[in-house]
Structure 1
Amino acid sequence: MTAAAPEPSRPPLTFERSSPLPVSAAEAFAWHERPGALVRLIPPWEDVSVESARGGIREGAEVVLKLKFGRAFVRWYALHTAYENRGADGGMFRDVQIKGPFAFWEHTHHVEPGPDGGSLLRDVVRYLPPGGPLGRAVGKGFAERRLAAMFDLRHAVTAADLAAHHRFRDRPRLNVLISGAGGLIGRQLSAFLAGGGHSVTALSRSDGPNRIPWDPDGGEIPTERLAGFDAVVHLAGEPVQGRWTEEKKRRIRNSRVKGTRLLAEALAALETPPRVLVCASATGYYGDRGDEPLTEASPPGEGFLAEVCQEWEAAADPARAAGIRVVHARFGIVLSPDGGALGKQLPIFKAGGGGPVGGGEQWWSWVGRDDAVGALHHALMTEDLSGPVNVTAPGTTTNAAFTQTLAETLRRPAIVPVPELAVRLAFGEMGEELLLASARVKPTALLGSGYTFRQTGLKAALRRLLGRTA
């Protein structure tokens, strides 16, 4: 990477955002220094990936981001040019664009002591849009709106992540093994835990740094390499989206049941097993239940997913029998624009083609991406929490209300309904159980164990995830 870009000949524009943080300046600055912070701070509505990152935030550190625009992409090369760790007084660091979408970019992060033992996060960006004077005149308003959305999100995530870790500050940091660490939830959970000072290793189909290989299809797992972990989070499984052929259903069932049993038996065989195993499950456990309020105490429903979920949870019995605390995280619809149900709906709704599915009266139990991560962290750290745990927001909504709220957030109409017959013809059994089934699921165990949701209302959650500030 080349040297830092020189000061521009034209006066740059300045954007500044400040927010209080609920922890000391030293604790807040340490969070920024840990691996994981960068991933957590990427806005979910932007198609951005970290291509490389070397040196953390210290002077001389380098970062390369890959930004996609439709089918095209541009790389953003950034160099850290200043760093000060002031101990109890926080610190600062600065990165500048070497090559990328802006004509000039300089971003200085400040963490300073605040009142009542807290701290203040202050970001100052000096920038110039591309395109010379015309670009400045035309692009200023657009750039300011994008920066406001981005830094509102970054500050909210920073404050909430710090608060979550601070709540368990007296507990030892964990050595955590995660299967499915590259998935929608796993990527964010890995970054979140690393930001809190925990050590993270992926249980993966390939070997490598911070990875342990396994082959759940072939029943192979290196049991001896599983020793020394305090906690395991099992998220891996065949995606349920797509038409359910008999072969697809076999993969869905086997990836969950065989994989969970293989892992549970291996952990149970260890001389010193981990203290906790958190296994993914799903609200499909309850089947199609109409308007019935459902809690963790509700009996299972009927259908393929309900059967799979029951077998999935039972597959962890060897770990339970070995004295490992087992939590079954029954996920609802996890909202994230970079994948899952919301990611698939966005192109349709942005084009004005969205509408209710079937009659729209079925209950959709959803949870925001960061609350899905927060619930898993809470389950890891809360020693008296075990068994099934519904990972859904308190604000369950109907499909019709979900559709209308998403359309309003995007400022698009929602006037193209999808009839039940069309769902059945297009998706078959998958459409009936995922799109038309009704499950009004309550997060009773989470709330009862003291978890505080970041987003309880759908409108606020969608606006945060989609970067809508106005």
Structure 2
Amino acid sequence: MRILVAGASGLIGRPLVSALRAEGHRVDVLVRGRAAASDAEYAWDPDAGEIAPDALAGADAVINLSGASISRIPWTKGYQRELVSSRINATRLLAESMATMEKPPSTFLSGSAVGFYGDRPRVRLDDDSPKGDGFLADLVLAWEQAAALAPAKTRVVTLRTSVVVAKSGGMAPVRLLTQFFLGSRFGAGRQFWPWISLDDEVRAIIHLLDSTISGPVVLAGPTPATADDVTRAFADALKRPRWLPAPTWAIRLGLGEAGQRLLLDDVQLQPVRLAADGFAWKHPTIADAVKAALSSRD
């Protein structure tokens, strides 16, 4: 296939592009600013609503991973606006551009997040569970609505991604704190943190390219893990203690809504649609995912 990727330089985008090319696909990428003098890069400016005229022509699939990092804190009012605009503008531009084509791409895999479900203590959730409350839930809804602007001929999948277990990204603070003997217990520790290994995130996206599924798909590990399970997995793998408490009140006071949403929200989530579609996880437990992340050369 010819696949166009937005967000190719990010945590997920880099290994995804490499894996797709290793499978023999032609992968072109969208870049901000001037594109390199090759046919593998196309310039775009989502905030200005501009994309190279021939970027989408002949593409079989588009994978959209654009968006400012949610793991960067604090979420000031200005950064919240960036979190929204960086996702909505990019997704809308791709979807509306496809809608103008006589022969649009057959598949559009567009980024999304498990923040859709909000804080749902003691509730078992899956792909079809209703939207929760809060800034992230509202952001994800608007993000997915932008993807839905794609033409009817295009199969649209919104990738409701969990926190990716890797050396960098959302799990980096947990790894670094633990590595330097500052391993913490976040809040009560009983809240569920949806997670997925970086390898399985990439493999799931490639799996969905060849699937017939449409709509929202949860990308998460098949074994739910609490915050205590996650921090303990890092402590065990790094052979470090986990003794510093981070009380709920301190997290809320110091990190505001970002601390609540990233560290305290309780989301016990099962990737039902992905499992039913025949996907097999390489790292089915949080311990497997942590070991794989720490052994990675990236």
Question: What range describes the TM-score normalised by the shorter chain of this pair?
Answer: over 0.9
Aligned match of 1:317 = 148
Q: Deviations over 1:355-400 (max 9, x none)?
A: 2111111100100001000110011111x21100000001110001
Aligned match of 1:59 = none
Distance 1:314 1:460 in 2: 34
Displacement of 1:424 in angstroms is: 1.5
Aligned match of 1:106 = none
3-state SS of 2:258 partner: helix
Displacement of 1:344 in angstroms is: 2.5
Alignment match of 2:24 (pick from 183, 197, 201) = 197
TM-score between the two structures when normalised by the length of structure 1: 0.61
Aligned match of 2:213 = 385
Mapped pair 1:443 → 2:271: yes
Mapped pair 1:252 → 2:83: yes
3-state SS of 1:360 partner: coil
Mapped pair 1:349 → 2:181: no
Q: Which residues of structure 2 form unaligned runs of 5+?
A: none
Aligned match of 2:199 = 370
C-alpha change, 1:330 and 1:391, in structure 2 (3 Å) is: same
3-state SS of 2:109 partner: strand
**Which residues in structure 2 correspond to 1:21-32 (within 5 Å)?**
none
Displacement of 1:233 in angstroms is: 0.3
Distance 1:452 1:376 in 2: 12
Q: Deviations over 1:255-298 (max 9, x none)?
A: 11121111100011112110000001000000000121111110
Structure with greater strand percent: 1
Displacement of 1:317 in angstroms is: 1.9
TM-score between the two structures when normalised by the length of structure 2: 0.95
Q: Deviations over 1:90-140 (max 9, x none)?
A: xxxxxxxxxxxxxxxxxxxxxxxxxxxxxxxxxxxxxxxxxxxxxxxxxxx
Check the 8 A contact 1:265/1:318 in 2, yes or no: yes
Q: Deviations over 1:317-362 (max 9, x none)?
A: 221x43200000100010111x112222222101110121111111
Aligned match of 1:300 = 131
Check the 8 A contact 2:177/2:184 in 1, yes or no: no
Aligned match of 1:417 = 245
Aligned match of 2:222 = 394
Give the total of aligned pairs.
292
Check the 8 A contact 2:229/2:286 in 1, yes or no: no
Distance 2:128 2:175 in 1: 34
Aligned match of 2:14 = 187
3-state SS of 1:435 partner: helix
Aligned match of 1:275 = 106
3-state SS of 2:250 partner: helix
Q: Which residues of structure 1 form unaligned runs of 5+?
A: 1-173
Distance 1:413 1:399 in 2: 15
Q: Percent identity?
A: 38
3-state SS of 2:51 partner: coil
Check the 8 A contact 1:424/1:431 in 2, yes or no: yes
Distance 1:282 1:376 in 2: 14
Distance 1:260 1:313 in 2: 8
Distance 2:258 2:143 in 1: 18
Amino acid at match of 1:349: T
